[in-house]
């Protein structure tokens, strides 16, 4: 077993295909297959199962994948630590973003790395907050932006912003504008059942917040449609199929902010907390120490400004 074999195995597992991995790794497919076979022979275990659509991990493969990601991360950190005395941080940092945050932050984050950290390699992965938390704990992700994270001893969590939840509806007919319209009259939570809702599935943190408060208030929500993705939810709202309970940042990230009306919920005021998270068990690399304040600035500039947008 060697590091190159582990790297090849991880890439094949992530892409689910020898042919795709050979292109990304710039290695002939037979040679790639041979290295994975040598790894299986060395471990005396079948790691990948071929299917009609590519390959999937066996149970042994899943266990090795977790170890391999952690090993490769440690090797990368060792290289970064050796390079830490240089003027510019080098190496690779993996940032986990929720889909709405990805749409809002990917471009400025890439631009920031190009300008301030040109020798560093940035990788961005998308997922729900619960998934990103798991990826940080297992070493797949270095820094994550989480919504309302639960306490977790495996994570170091730094609150950055509070985002009020709002009732989001289609904008009334009026000249198009470039910013979110603030139909500034707040909506008491007790009146929320009057609106048909397009809402995320039960694993989404905002769905949990809204349903918990509805139970405490003794009201029954009128759920018209249930979708897993915020962009799809906003598409239905924009088309007039209901209302959503989201943050202004999510509306801003849609790229069609002027198509929506936004009313903050009150009595009680529900708040979604945006936090930065890193592993509690891995040392913070010089590159991460530069990336964390950059992410904080971008969150405040991109999401924080959304709370000051007026009609």
The boundaries of the domain holding residue 67 are 1-85
Q: Do residues 293 and 232 make contact, with C-beta atoms less than 8 angstroms apart?
A: no
pLDDT in tens, 200-213: 888 777 888 888 89
CA–CA dist 307, 247 (Å, integer)? 9
Q: What are phi and psi of 87, to 5 degrees?
A: -65, -35
pLDDT in tens, 37-70: 999 999 999 999 988 888 999 999 999 999 999 9
Q: What's residue 136's pLDDT?
A: 93
| CA-closest candidate to residue 260, choices 215, 198, 304, 201 | 198
CA distances from 71 to 10, 78, 121, 139, 230 (A): 11, 11, 18, 9, 35
124 belongs to a structural domain: no
Q: What's residue 204's pLDDT?
A: 79
Q: What's residue 52's pLDDT?
A: 81
67, 85, 103 - which closes a domain: 85
Could you tell me the two tokens for 13? 């597992």
Task: Count up the domains in the chain and report the number.
Answer: 2
| CA-closest candidate to residue 108, choices 94, 124, 132 | 124
242 belongs to a structural domain: yes
Q: What's residue 181's pLDDT?
A: 46
44 belongs to a structural domain: yes
Q: What's residue 87's pLDDT?
A: 56
59 belongs to a structural domain: yes
102 belongs to a structural domain: no
CA–CA dist 249, 251 (Å, integer)? 5
135 belongs to a structural domain: no
53, 85, 117 - which closes a domain: 85
26, 59, 85 - which closes a domain: 85
Q: What's residue 83's pLDDT?
A: 65
203 belongs to a structural domain: yes
CATH number for the domain that contains residue 17: 1.10.10.10
Sites in the chain below the pLDDT cut of 70:
83-88, 173-184, 303-311
Q: What share of the chain is helix, strand, coil (3-state, %, to 5)?
A: 50, 25, 30
* Whether residues 174 and 79 fall in one domain: no
Q: What's residue 107's pLDDT?
A: 92
118 belongs to a structural domain: no
CATH number for the domain that contains residue 232: 3.40.190.290
């Amino acid at each position: 077993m060697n590091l190159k074999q582990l790297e090849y195995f991880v890439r094949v597992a992530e892409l689910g295909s020898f042919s795709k991995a050979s292109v990304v790794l710039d290695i002939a497919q037979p040679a790639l297959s041979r290295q994975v076979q040598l790894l299986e022979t060395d471990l005396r275990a079948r790691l990948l199962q071929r299917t009609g659509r590519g390959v999937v991990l066996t149970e042994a493969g899943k266990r090795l994948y977790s170890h391999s990601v952690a090993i490769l991360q440690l090797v990368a950190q060792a290289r970064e630590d050796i390079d830490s005395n240089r003027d510019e941080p080098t190496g690779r940092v993996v940032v986990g973003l929720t889909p709405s945050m990805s749409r809002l932050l990917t471009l400025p984050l890439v631009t920031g790395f190009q300008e301030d950290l040109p020798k560093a390699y940035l990788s961005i992965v998308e997922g729900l907050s619960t998934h990103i938390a798991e990826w940080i704990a297992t070493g797949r992700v270095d820094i994550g932006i989480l919504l309302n994270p639960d306490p977790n001893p495996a994570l170091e969590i730094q609150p950055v912003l509070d985002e009020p939840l709002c009732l989001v509806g289609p904008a009334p007919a009026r000249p198009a504008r470039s910013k979110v319209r603030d139909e500034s009259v707040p909506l008491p939570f007790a009146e929320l059942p009057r609106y048909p809702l397009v809402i995320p599935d039960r694993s989404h943190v905002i769905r949990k917040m809204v349903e918990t408060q509805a139970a405490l208030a003794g009201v029954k929500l009128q759920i018209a449609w249930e979708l897993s993705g915020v962009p799809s939810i906003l598409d239905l709202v924009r088309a007039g199929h209901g209302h959503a309970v989201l943050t202004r940042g999510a509306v801003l990230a849609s790229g069609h902010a002027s198509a929506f009306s936004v009313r903050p919920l009150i009595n009680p005021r529900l708040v979604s907390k945006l936090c930065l998270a890193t592993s509690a068990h891995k040392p913070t690399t010089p590159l991460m120490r530069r990336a964390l304040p950059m992410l904080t600035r971008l969150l405040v500039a991109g999401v924080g400004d959304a709370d000051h947008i007026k009609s």
